Protein backbone atom coordinates (compact mmCIF):
# COMPACT_ATOMS: atom_id res chain seq x y z
CA UNK A 1 0.00 0.00 0.00
CA UNK A 2 1.35 3.43 -1.00
CA UNK A 3 0.37 6.10 1.53
CA UNK A 4 0.08 9.83 0.81
CA UNK A 5 -0.31 12.55 3.45
CA UNK A 6 -1.59 15.99 2.38
CA UNK A 7 -0.68 18.83 4.72
CA UNK A 8 -1.79 22.43 5.23
CA UNK A 9 -1.75 24.59 8.35
CA UNK A 10 -5.00 23.90 10.22
CA UNK A 11 -6.24 20.87 8.27
CA UNK A 12 -9.67 22.45 7.74
CA UNK A 13 -9.46 23.94 4.23
CA UNK A 14 -6.81 22.93 1.71
CA UNK A 15 -5.64 19.48 2.81
CA UNK A 16 -9.14 18.07 3.51
CA UNK A 17 -10.30 19.39 0.11
CA UNK A 18 -7.28 17.81 -1.57
CA UNK A 19 -7.77 14.53 0.30
CA UNK A 20 -11.46 14.41 -0.66
CA UNK A 21 -10.64 15.02 -4.31
CA UNK A 22 -7.86 12.44 -4.21
CA UNK A 23 -10.17 9.84 -2.63
CA UNK A 24 -12.56 10.28 -5.57
CA UNK A 25 -9.75 10.06 -8.13
CA UNK A 26 -8.32 6.95 -6.45
CA UNK A 27 -11.74 5.28 -6.68
CA UNK A 28 -12.23 6.38 -10.31
CA UNK A 29 -8.80 5.04 -11.28
CA UNK A 30 -9.48 1.81 -9.36
CA UNK A 31 -6.41 2.30 -7.17
CA UNK A 32 -8.13 1.81 -3.79
CA UNK A 33 -6.26 -1.47 -3.32
CA UNK A 34 -2.90 0.24 -3.81
CA UNK A 35 -3.11 3.89 -2.68
CA UNK A 36 -4.28 5.42 0.59
CA UNK A 37 -4.58 9.13 1.38
CA UNK A 38 -4.97 11.15 4.58
CA UNK A 39 -4.66 14.79 5.58
CA UNK A 40 -3.17 16.66 8.52
CA UNK A 41 -2.04 20.11 9.60
CA UNK A 42 1.09 21.61 11.07
CA UNK A 43 -1.04 23.53 13.61
CA UNK A 44 -3.20 21.78 16.24
CA UNK A 45 -5.67 24.62 16.89
CA UNK A 46 -8.54 22.90 15.02
CA UNK A 47 -7.90 19.37 16.32
CA UNK A 48 -10.99 17.17 15.85
CA UNK A 49 -12.99 19.79 13.94
CA UNK A 50 -14.77 19.19 10.65
CA UNK A 51 -13.53 20.95 7.55
CA UNK A 52 -14.49 24.60 7.08
CA UNK A 53 -18.17 24.90 6.15
CA UNK A 54 -17.31 26.64 2.86
CA UNK A 55 -15.03 23.75 1.90
CA UNK A 56 -17.71 21.20 2.79
CA UNK A 57 -20.41 22.99 0.81
CA UNK A 58 -18.23 23.29 -2.29
CA UNK A 59 -16.85 19.74 -2.12
CA UNK A 60 -20.33 18.24 -1.76
CA UNK A 61 -21.62 20.34 -4.66
CA UNK A 62 -18.79 19.03 -6.84
CA UNK A 63 -19.24 15.38 -5.85
CA UNK A 64 -16.58 14.84 -3.16
CA UNK A 65 -18.47 13.37 -0.17
CA UNK A 66 -15.27 12.30 1.64
CA UNK A 67 -15.05 15.87 2.96
CA UNK A 68 -17.76 15.06 5.52
CA UNK A 69 -15.55 12.38 7.10
CA UNK A 70 -12.45 14.56 7.34
CA UNK A 71 -11.46 15.70 10.86
CA UNK A 72 -8.58 18.04 11.61
CA UNK A 73 -5.48 16.54 13.16
CA UNK A 74 -1.90 17.61 13.60
CA UNK A 75 1.00 15.85 11.87
CA UNK A 76 2.43 13.28 14.28
CA UNK A 77 6.04 12.05 14.48
CA UNK A 78 4.96 8.59 13.31
CA UNK A 79 3.48 10.07 10.12
CA UNK A 80 6.99 10.57 8.74
CA UNK A 81 7.57 6.82 8.94
CA UNK A 82 4.04 5.69 8.01
CA UNK A 83 3.55 7.72 4.82
CA UNK A 84 5.49 7.24 1.59
CA UNK A 85 4.81 10.74 0.30
CA UNK A 86 4.07 13.90 2.32
CA UNK A 87 2.82 16.83 0.27
CA UNK A 88 2.55 20.33 1.71
CA UNK A 89 0.16 22.89 0.26
CA UNK A 90 2.64 25.77 0.62
CA UNK A 91 6.26 26.59 1.37
CA UNK A 92 5.64 27.64 4.99
CA UNK A 93 4.09 24.29 5.85
CA UNK A 94 6.79 22.46 3.92
CA UNK A 95 9.38 24.28 6.02
CA UNK A 96 7.51 23.31 9.22
CA UNK A 97 7.52 19.69 8.07
CA UNK A 98 11.24 19.81 7.26
CA UNK A 99 11.99 21.15 10.72
CA UNK A 100 10.08 18.30 12.39
CA UNK A 101 10.94 15.45 10.01
CA UNK A 102 13.83 13.06 10.78
CA UNK A 103 16.72 13.36 8.26
CA UNK A 104 16.16 9.85 6.89
CA UNK A 105 12.55 10.73 5.94
CA UNK A 106 13.19 14.17 4.36
CA UNK A 107 13.05 12.70 0.84
CA UNK A 108 9.30 12.17 1.28
CA UNK A 109 8.56 15.90 1.64
CA UNK A 110 7.43 17.92 -1.38
CA UNK A 111 5.09 20.72 -2.37
CA UNK A 112 1.77 19.31 -3.62
CA UNK A 113 1.67 21.33 -6.86
CA UNK A 114 5.36 20.86 -7.66
CA UNK A 115 5.07 17.11 -7.18
CA UNK A 116 2.00 17.16 -9.41
CA UNK A 117 4.17 18.99 -11.98
CA UNK A 118 1.90 22.01 -12.27
CA UNK A 119 4.23 24.57 -13.75
CA UNK A 120 2.42 27.88 -13.34
CA UNK A 121 1.93 27.66 -9.54
CA UNK A 122 4.04 26.42 -6.66
CA UNK A 123 1.55 26.76 -3.82
CA UNK A 124 -2.12 26.27 -3.04
CA UNK A 125 -3.26 29.58 -1.48
CA UNK A 126 -4.96 29.54 1.91
CA UNK A 127 -8.63 30.50 1.36
CA UNK A 128 -9.52 30.71 5.07
CA UNK A 129 -9.68 34.50 5.39
CA UNK A 130 -11.19 35.04 1.94
CA UNK A 131 -14.49 34.45 0.21
CA UNK A 132 -16.11 31.54 -1.62
CA UNK A 133 -14.16 32.35 -4.80
CA UNK A 134 -10.93 31.52 -2.96
CA UNK A 135 -12.29 28.07 -2.17
CA UNK A 136 -13.21 27.60 -5.85
CA UNK A 137 -9.60 28.36 -6.82
CA UNK A 138 -8.29 25.94 -4.20
CA UNK A 139 -10.64 23.15 -5.28
CA UNK A 140 -9.60 23.60 -8.92
CA UNK A 141 -5.92 23.35 -7.93
CA UNK A 142 -6.69 20.27 -5.81
CA UNK A 143 -8.43 18.61 -8.76
CA UNK A 144 -5.58 19.37 -11.12
CA UNK A 145 -2.93 18.51 -8.53
CA UNK A 146 -4.53 15.23 -7.47
CA UNK A 147 -4.59 14.01 -11.05
CA UNK A 148 -0.89 14.83 -11.45
CA UNK A 149 0.11 13.21 -8.17
CA UNK A 150 -1.84 10.03 -8.88
CA UNK A 151 -0.45 9.83 -12.42
CA UNK A 152 3.08 9.83 -10.97
CA UNK A 153 2.23 7.42 -8.17
CA UNK A 154 0.39 4.99 -10.49
CA UNK A 155 3.36 4.96 -12.88
CA UNK A 156 5.70 4.14 -9.97
CA UNK A 157 3.44 1.30 -8.80
CA UNK A 158 3.60 -0.55 -12.12
Question: Helix/strand/coil (H, E, C) string of 32-76?
Answer: CCCEEEEEEECCCCCCCCECCHHHHHHHHHCCCHHHHHCECCECC
Q: Is 92 marked active-site?
A: no
pLDDT (tens digit, 9 = 90+) per residue, 97-136?
Answer: 999 999 999 999 999 999 988 888 899 999 999 888 999 9
pLDDT (tens digit, 9 = 90+) per residue, 62-108?
Answer: 999 999 999 999 999 999 999 999 999 999 999 999 999 999 999 99
What predicted TM-score, i.e. pTM, was given to this entire model? 0.96
What's the pLDDT at 132?
87
Q: Is 79 marked active-site?
A: no
The pLDDT-based confidence of 4 (bands split at 50, 70, 90) is very high
* Cβ(149)–Cβ(4) below 8 Å: yes
Choose the catalytic residue: 13, 14, 54, 79: 14
Q: Is 142 marked active-site?
A: no
Above 80 in pLDDT, residue 158? no
Choose the catalytic residue: 54, 79, 126, 142: 126
CATH class of 2-157: alpha beta
Amino acid sequence: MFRILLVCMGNICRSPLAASVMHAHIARLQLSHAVEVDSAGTYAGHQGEKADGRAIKLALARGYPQIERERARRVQDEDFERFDLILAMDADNLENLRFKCPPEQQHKLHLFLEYAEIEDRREVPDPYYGNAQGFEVVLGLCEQGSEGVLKRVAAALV
